[in-house]
Amino acid sequence: QVQLLESGGGLVQAGDSLQLSCQASGRTFPNYAMGWFRQAPGKEREFVSAVSWSGNTTYYGDSVKGRFTISGDHTRNTVSLQMNSLKPEDTAVYYCAGRFSDVGGWDAWGQGTQVTVSS
Protein backbone atom coordinates (compact mmCIF):
# COMPACT_ATOMS: atom_id res chain seq x y z
CA GLN A 1 0.00 0.00 0.00
CA VAL A 2 1.18 3.49 -0.86
CA GLN A 3 0.79 6.60 1.24
CA LEU A 4 1.07 10.09 -0.22
CA LEU A 5 1.76 13.21 1.80
CA GLU A 6 1.49 16.68 0.30
CA SER A 7 3.08 19.87 1.58
CA GLY A 8 3.56 23.45 0.47
CA GLY A 9 0.07 24.88 0.17
CA GLY A 10 -0.82 28.33 1.43
CA LEU A 11 -2.24 31.76 0.76
CA VAL A 12 -0.61 33.89 -1.92
CA GLN A 13 -1.50 36.85 -4.10
CA ALA A 14 -2.23 36.76 -7.80
CA GLY A 15 0.99 36.63 -9.77
CA ASP A 16 2.93 34.94 -6.99
CA SER A 17 4.58 31.53 -7.09
CA LEU A 18 4.19 28.50 -4.88
CA GLN A 19 5.69 25.03 -4.84
CA LEU A 20 3.90 21.89 -3.77
CA SER A 21 5.67 18.68 -2.86
CA CYS A 22 4.48 15.13 -2.39
CA GLN A 23 6.28 12.26 -0.73
CA ALA A 24 5.25 8.69 -1.48
CA SER A 25 5.97 5.93 0.98
CA GLY A 26 5.23 2.25 1.00
CA ARG A 27 5.40 -0.15 -1.90
CA THR A 28 6.19 2.16 -4.81
CA PHE A 29 9.16 0.39 -6.41
CA PRO A 30 9.86 0.14 -9.30
CA ASN A 31 7.52 1.96 -11.65
CA TYR A 32 5.40 4.50 -9.79
CA ALA A 33 3.97 7.44 -11.69
CA MET A 34 2.76 10.51 -9.81
CA GLY A 35 0.67 13.53 -10.54
CA TRP A 36 -1.49 16.35 -9.24
CA PHE A 37 -5.19 17.04 -9.34
CA ARG A 38 -7.17 19.90 -7.83
CA GLN A 39 -10.71 20.53 -6.74
CA ALA A 40 -12.28 23.92 -6.22
CA PRO A 41 -15.48 24.39 -4.17
CA GLY A 42 -18.53 23.26 -6.13
CA LYS A 43 -16.43 21.88 -8.99
CA GLU A 44 -15.28 18.45 -10.06
CA ARG A 45 -11.76 17.26 -9.50
CA GLU A 46 -9.52 18.49 -12.32
CA PHE A 47 -6.32 17.04 -13.71
CA VAL A 48 -3.38 19.42 -13.25
CA SER A 49 -0.19 17.61 -14.15
CA ALA A 50 1.57 14.25 -14.11
CA VAL A 51 5.00 12.79 -14.68
CA SER A 52 5.71 9.31 -16.00
CA TRP A 53 7.36 6.78 -13.72
CA SER A 54 10.61 7.20 -15.65
CA GLY A 55 10.45 10.94 -15.25
CA ASN A 56 10.91 11.39 -18.97
CA THR A 57 7.40 12.51 -19.88
CA THR A 58 5.25 15.22 -18.35
CA TYR A 59 1.61 16.09 -18.85
CA TYR A 60 -0.34 19.27 -18.11
CA GLY A 61 -3.92 20.38 -18.04
CA ASP A 62 -4.73 23.16 -20.46
CA SER A 63 -5.43 25.66 -17.70
CA VAL A 64 -1.93 25.40 -16.25
CA LYS A 65 0.27 24.91 -19.32
CA GLY A 66 3.10 27.39 -19.42
CA ARG A 67 2.65 28.34 -15.76
CA PHE A 68 3.14 25.12 -13.81
CA THR A 69 6.09 22.73 -13.95
CA ILE A 70 6.13 19.22 -12.55
CA SER A 71 9.25 17.35 -11.62
CA GLY A 72 9.70 13.90 -10.17
CA ASP A 73 12.52 12.17 -8.38
CA HIS A 74 11.71 8.50 -8.58
CA THR A 75 14.75 7.50 -6.60
CA ARG A 76 13.24 9.35 -3.67
CA ASN A 77 9.56 8.85 -4.58
CA THR A 78 8.86 12.55 -4.59
CA VAL A 79 7.09 14.86 -6.99
CA SER A 80 6.98 18.64 -6.97
CA LEU A 81 4.74 21.14 -8.67
CA GLN A 82 6.14 24.60 -9.25
CA MET A 83 3.27 27.00 -9.77
CA ASN A 84 4.05 30.41 -11.25
CA SER A 85 1.86 33.34 -12.24
CA LEU A 86 -0.88 32.10 -9.97
CA LYS A 87 -4.42 33.27 -10.60
CA PRO A 88 -7.45 33.40 -8.30
CA GLU A 89 -8.97 30.60 -10.37
CA ASP A 90 -6.11 28.35 -9.28
CA THR A 91 -7.60 28.38 -5.80
CA ALA A 92 -8.40 24.79 -4.87
CA VAL A 93 -7.40 21.83 -2.78
CA TYR A 94 -4.51 20.15 -4.56
CA TYR A 95 -4.19 16.39 -4.35
CA CYS A 96 -1.18 14.24 -5.06
CA ALA A 97 -1.95 10.99 -6.87
CA GLY A 98 0.01 7.88 -7.76
CA ARG A 99 -0.30 4.76 -9.88
CA PHE A 100 1.73 1.73 -10.91
CA SER A 101 1.53 2.56 -14.59
CA ASP A 102 1.70 5.51 -16.92
CA VAL A 103 -1.89 4.85 -18.02
CA GLY A 104 -5.12 3.90 -16.36
CA GLY A 105 -6.66 4.89 -13.07
CA TRP A 106 -4.88 6.39 -10.09
CA ASP A 107 -4.32 4.00 -7.21
CA ALA A 108 -3.50 6.28 -4.32
CA TRP A 109 -4.40 9.79 -3.21
CA GLY A 110 -3.04 12.21 -0.67
CA GLN A 111 -5.14 14.13 1.82
CA GLY A 112 -4.82 17.36 -0.13
CA THR A 113 -3.30 20.75 0.52
CA GLN A 114 -5.13 24.06 0.21
CA VAL A 115 -3.90 26.69 -2.22
CA THR A 116 -5.63 30.06 -2.07
CA VAL A 117 -4.80 32.85 -4.49
CA SER A 118 -6.16 36.28 -3.63
CA SER A 119 -6.77 38.94 -6.26
pLDDT tens figures, 12-61? 999 999 999 999 998 766 678 999 999 999 999 999 999 998 888 999 99
CA distance 44 to 93: 11
Angle in degrees, CA 40, 45, 47, rounded to 5: 110
CA distance 20 to 44: 20
SS3 19: strand
Q: Tell me, what's the pLDDT at 37?
A: 98
Please name the residue ranges forming H helices in the chain.
none
Determine the average pLDDT of the residues in 58-69: 97
Determine the average pLDDT of the residues in 85-91: 98
Query: Which are the contacts of 104, defined by CB distance < 8 A and separation ≥ 6?
Result: none
Residue 77: DSSP 8-state = T
